[in-house]
Copies of this chain bind each other. A is one copy, B any other.
């Protein structure tokens, strides 16, 4: 017993690096939404992945959380837990192996550190907030295979991310094989011989430990890890895209058991799910249900499409992850998805800023930023991506590395604008009539002119919640040149038509006749 506790504490200490300080040094306290871990020695013979089941009940007052554990190789079994409540928790293990069953212990959950806001949840139907209520406004990016590139490039990617505006990154668990990324990864998720002789009954713990290290690094950077469980860009090379249903399910369960306690995890069931010819829609339903049942922390769940959208109205989908560049060329298009799903809309792929000879990978930076603004005023969220050709084929979209494009700086500008905006986020003001207006009625407006180049804008607002005599202050935003120019005039409104209020003196705002301009309008009185 003493021996086991010692092992336990040693493992907890080892986890400190991994958990980025979330586990207190004593091993008996952890911060709220931190990662508490306990480890036990157990059988290493046979096939522990298949033969041994381990889980624990974590209990505080009338709250009981059941969490599955996993075999981590070398005769070590681990249980992880993300506490959502302060106080002294107890746990009891359950296992079909007597030595792993009925273990108990206690630990204290303390206040979260300042940069820990908890996991991201859906807020106000179309938006997100961290568990502590802090608004979360995703500006994501994608590096599908960045964790399969080896430490040098991966650490460069992390350094780039540290200075970039992105607070979410999409990436795959399984390695990817596609143009500009045809190498073999340093680690594989299964025991076996590359490229395609695998024992799908034996996971490779080192692979998952590496993945977890990267997730923890992202957490330290305040970046959500949007983890893609399946993808089609294997095409049978390794065969991770065509395992049996039982193998798929085991993989999902094992991965969720390992990762769910990381507060910055999101589940993306697949990238381009509909391009995975071996699977049926019912498989995806089942995977969602497994993730939902296995993840006691209810991390966000969605799935990214190729050409065919999944039925995101299903109750197990928390938000809508969409690939569609066309839909964010026009705020009036993007709005339509909000209506049909009544969930947050995240355009996780809107094509890429870059210069590759594919029609999905050669947007100008201006076009990428334009799409972010069209989507933003529609009350939706977007993800960035970059595909500039590179002498060593290090394209950000696939491998990470450094950013070469011009859009990230502008997305940082957008992020600052949104941060200074209403806590409730941006919603369409008059969705099917005046899709150019986003904001919160009578409080705050973003008016975006996109590719139009007006030299003047008559001060007019759609009527929702407006009253005569309200006064507004305006900033002119140049979304490309990243400037904010306050307009000196204060505009006082009167009812002008059945649908609009205008400045009482019919004044207009002068604009510079350039594209990509916007207005930020705030009510200052009453």
* Shortest distance between the CB of A48 and any CB in chain B (Å): 42
With beta carbons under 8 angstroms apart, the residue of B327, B357, B433 that contacts A336 is B327
With beta carbons under 8 angstroms apart, the residue of B312, B333, B339, B431 that contacts A332 is B333
Q: Is the beta-carbon distance between A339 and B435 smaller than 8 angstroms?
A: no
With beta carbons under 8 angstroms apart, the residue of B333, B432, B499 that contacts A325 is B432
> Is A359 engaged at the interface, CB distance under 8 Å to the other chain?
yes
Given contact pairs A359-B499, A498-B357, A309 touches B339 in the complex (Cβ within 8 A):
yes
Q: Is the beta-carbon distance between B340 and A433 smaller than 8 angstroms?
A: no
With beta carbons under 8 angstroms apart, the residue of B326, B340, B433 that contacts A337 is B340
> Is A341 engaged at the interface, CB distance under 8 Å to the other chain?
yes
> Is A324 engaged at the interface, CB distance under 8 Å to the other chain?
yes
Contacts of A241 in B (CB 8 A): none
Q: Is the beta-carbon distance between A330 and B332 smaller than 8 angstroms?
A: yes
Q: Is the interface of A mostly helix, strand, loop or mixed?
A: loop
* Shortest distance between the CB of A343 and any CB in chain B (Å): 11
> Is A160 engaged at the interface, CB distance under 8 Å to the other chain?
no
Given contact pairs A309-B339, A309-B340, A339-B309, A359 touches B326 in the complex (Cβ within 8 A):
no
> Is A313 engaged at the interface, CB distance under 8 Å to the other chain?
yes
Residue of B nearest to A359 (CB): B499
> Is A64 engaged at the interface, CB distance under 8 Å to the other chain?
no
Contacts of A336 in B (CB 8 A): 324, 327, 333, 336-337
> Is A289 engaged at the interface, CB distance under 8 Å to the other chain?
no
* Shortest distance between the CB of A179 and any CB in chain B (Å): 13
Residue of B nearest to A308 (CB): B339
> Is A481 engaged at the interface, CB distance under 8 Å to the other chain?
no
> Is A311 engaged at the interface, CB distance under 8 Å to the other chain?
yes
Proximity string of chain A (302-339) to chain B, C-beta cutoff 8 Å, 1 when within and 0 when not? 00000111011100000000001111011011001101
* Shortest distance between the CB of A164 and any CB in chain B (Å): 27
Q: Which of A309, A336, A337, A358 has the most CB of B within 10 A?
A: A336
Contacts of A357 in B (CB 8 A): 498
Proximity string of chain A (117-128) to chain B, C-beta cutoff 8 Å, 1 when within and 0 when not? 000000000000
Contacts of A311 in B (CB 8 A): 313
Proximity string of chain A (419-448) to chain B, C-beta cutoff 8 Å, 1 when within and 0 when not? 000000000000111010000000000000
Proximity string of chain A (339-356) to chain B, C-beta cutoff 8 Å, 1 when within and 0 when not? 111000000000000000
A325, B433: Cα distance in complex, Å = 9
* Shortest distance between the CB of A449 and any CB in chain B (Å): 18
Q: Is the beta-carbon distance between B359 and A324 smaller than 8 angstroms?
A: no
Contacts of A339 in B (CB 8 A): 308-309
Q: Is the beta-carbon distance between A433 and B330 smaller than 8 angstroms?
A: no
Contacts of A332 in B (CB 8 A): 326-327, 329-330, 333
Contacts of A333 in B (CB 8 A): 330, 332-333, 336
Q: Is the beta-carbon distance between B309 and A435 smaller than 8 angstroms?
A: no
A174, B452: Cα distance in complex, Å = 47
With beta carbons under 8 angstroms apart, the residue of B313, B327, B435, B498 that contacts A326 is B435
Contacts of A324 in B (CB 8 A): 336, 432
Given contact pairs A333-B333, A337-B336, A359 touches B309 in the complex (Cβ within 8 A):
no
Q: Which of A284-302 contact B (CB under 8 A)?
A: none
A407, B336: Cα distance in complex, Å = 27
Closest 7 CB pairs of A and B: A326-B432, A313-B313, A309-B339, A340-B340, A333-B333, A336-B336, A311-B313
Q: A311-B313, A336-B336, A358-B498 are in contact. List 6 more A-B contacts (CB 8 A).
A: A309-B339, A313-B313, A324-B336, A326-B431, A333-B336, A340-B341
Interface pairs (26), CB distance under 8 Å: A307-B431, A308-B339, A309-B339, A309-B340, A311-B313, A312-B340, A313-B313, A324-B336, A324-B432, A325-B432, A326-B332, A326-B431, A327-B332, A327-B336, A327-B432, A329-B332, A330-B330, A330-B332, A330-B333, A332-B333, A333-B336, A340-B340, A357-B498, A358-B498, A359-B433, A359-B498
